[in-house]
Amino acid sequence: MLVLPAELTHAQAPACVRMLADALRAEPGPLAVADASELSSFDSSALAVLLECRREALALGKGFAVQRLPARLRDLASLYGVAELLPAAP
């Protein structure tokens, strides 16, 4: 499971991408799941981080899903037209 931090803004995004990419490469199984339940303070950079994780997962031949995406971030993803790229985890 890839766990997003409580705060994910432009300032934290580069380090978060590196951390999640490392965790993703170590994650066994065909599906990478990002857990956004702790995410409470964020900007659109959180979407960029999730989309980068999705890209990395697909490059590794894995599926990608997100669990507990905050409603505000889901709304932002819809606004930007990328919500379908961040499916809810089963």
pLDDT in tens, 47-66: 999 999 999 999 999 999 99
Tokens of 69: 């995406």
Mean pLDDT of 4-32: 95
**What would be the CATH architecture of the domain defined by 2-85?**
2-Layer Sandwich (3.30)
| pTM for this entry | 0.94
Sorting pLDDT into bands at 50, 70 and 90, what band is 86? very high
Task: Indicate if the pLDDT at residue 33 is higher than 90.
Answer: yes
Distance, CA of 36 to CA of 44 (rounded, Å): 14
Task: Indicate if the pLDDT at residue 42 is higher than 90.
Answer: yes
Show me where the domains of the chain are located.
2-85
Q: Give the number of other Cβ atoms within 10 Å of residue 10's Cβ.
A: 12
Q: For the chain, what is the mean pLDDT? A: 96
